[in-house]
Structure 1
Amino acid sequence: MANDLNGKRVAILATDGFEQVELTEPMQALKQAGARVEVVAPKSGDIQGFNHHDKGQTVPVDHTLEQVQGEDFDALMLPGGVINPDALRLEPAAIDFIRHFVEARKPIAAICHGPWTLINAGGVQGRRMTSWPSLEADLRNAGAEWVDQDVVVDRGLVTSRKPDDLPVFCTAMVEEFSEGRHEEQPGGRIGSAQKGESAATMQGENI
């Protein structure tokens, strides 16, 4: 995985209430792959992480939404946590930031409740994806093809369901981020690798 993302600048968009491991583990994987990773939030200072229902550690914010633009970054990562994406959906600047990546066809990775914000940014229509199960109806109603798999990759969009999926999520995220912008082509890779294969070589399945 090392050095796949040299020269890439990746934004992690989050606010208070993010699921801690869903931010820290992808951040570590991105940094290990050579990316410059920066936390973007609606406010400055620190944002509060959670371990499920309990407060976890805080993470320092590198930039507020007022200080950066989507054009500054090559890819976007959206961690989950119930509070975090629900709060971001109420921030017009956050939705505008995400919308840039959607419209520019830059790679996006979102886990657990993270895909919620993609609905507001117009990023799920016609996309094959997964999420925490409670988002299934929301995503389907917004035009997504929702599947229950540990990781789904569709034209640069990487989604997973929960913290247990982080190993395959991080592998697929680094691969897609290394590929850069994606053309709008049908199909996608679904599920973790079969025995003896890596997640990077998974073949698409028809659902």
Structure 2
Amino acid sequence: MTQPGKRLEGLRVAVLATHGVEESELVEPRKALIEAGARVDVLAPEAGQIQAFQHMDKSRMIDVDRSLAQAYAADYDAVMLPGGAVNADKIRTQTTARTFVSDAQKAGKPIAAICHAPWLLVSAGLVEGRKLTSDESLQDDIRNAGGDWVDQGVTVDGNLVTSRKPDDIPAFNREMTEVFARTTADREREKQAAANSTPVPR
């Protein structure tokens, strides 16, 4: 049973990032997910650490839990994509990252992306027909890829949660937790159904 306040108990979340990630857009959502009970792994093109930024200035180094070459979407229940223009522009060129989010989307897993992070979704061909927001500099790319870009703090389209900038992180965290919690609830229902099923006599 899920503990009170631990709505994401047991949920496995992959955070895809690389050098240039906006510190607050990784650290604060990760903290919210962990506090809700999720297990969060930072995945990057290379093992070791990645350099985070606060806007244009270098900040802290962030430990990488697994390299993308050693990670598969099937190992996780949800995906969170932090922003940072340099981070997003680098990671969108990685075949492993594009494959990871494509596989997650095909499996119906929720994806949350903030600021410049939807660039990866554009490069993976995942925004056509979807309503989403982002840093305003991405709006033409999103529209050209068939997405419906809107200017609002946070947008939810099915299992896709998107947000614009660091100021929107509190709203982003709330909606991300809500959408990710559906996955936890679905899994609990599946467990209960399996436990309550009566074996057919042979």
> Which band: TM-score by shorter chain?
0.7 to 0.9
Aligned residue identity for 1:108: I
Deviations along 1:129-174, whole A, 9 cap, x unmatched? 0000000000000011110000000001000000000000000001
Instruction: Report the TM-score, using the length of structure 2 for normalisation.
Output: 0.88
Residue 108 (str. 1) matches residue 107 (str. 2): no
Partners in 2 of 1:20 and 1:76 — Cα distance? Answer: 17
Supply the distance in 2 between the matched residues of 1:118 and 1:90 (Cα, whole angstroms).
11
Distance 2:108 2:88 in 1: 21
Superposed, 1:1-207 pairs within 5 Å as 2-180=5-183
CA offsets, 1:73-129, max 9 Å, x none?
000000000010110111111110111111112100000000000011121110010
SS of 1:179's partner is helix
* Structure 2 counterpart of 1:200: none
> How many angstroms apart in 1 are the aligned matches of 2:111 and 2:72?
15
SS at match of 1:138: helix
Q: 2: CA distance between counterparts of 1:2 and 1:167?
A: 17
> Which residue type is aligned with residue 16 of structure 2?
L
The answer to whether the 8 Å contact 1:102/1:121 transfers is: no
Task: Could you tell me which runs of 5 or more consecutive residues in structure 2 were left unpaired when the two chains were aligned.
Answer: 185-202
1:102–1:122 contact (8 Å) kept in structure 2? no
Q: CA RMSD in A?
A: 1.1
- The SS at the match of 1:39 is strand
Q: Which has the higher helix share?
A: 2
Q: Are the counterparts in 2 of residues 129 and 146 from structure 1 also a CA contact under 8 Å?
A: yes
4+ runs deviating over 6 angstroms: none
Secondary structure, in 3 states, of the residue corresponding to 1:113? coil
Does structure 2 retain, via aligned residues, the 8 Å contact 1:6–1:33? yes
| AA in 2 matched with 1:4 | R
* AA partner of residue 143 (structure 2): R
Contact 1:22–1:166 (Cα < 8 Å) also in 2:
yes
Within 2, Cα distance between the matches of 1:2 and 1:165? Answer: 22
The count of aligned residue pairs is 181
State the SS of the aligned residue for 2:70. coil
CA distance in 2, matches of 1:108, 1:2: 22
Secondary structure of the structure 2 residue equivalent to 1:158: strand
Counting aligned pairs with the same residue, the percent is 52
Q: TM (normalized to structure 1)?
A: 0.86
- The one-letter code sitting in structure 1 at the alignment partner of 2:127 is V
Name the structure 1 match of 2:194.
none
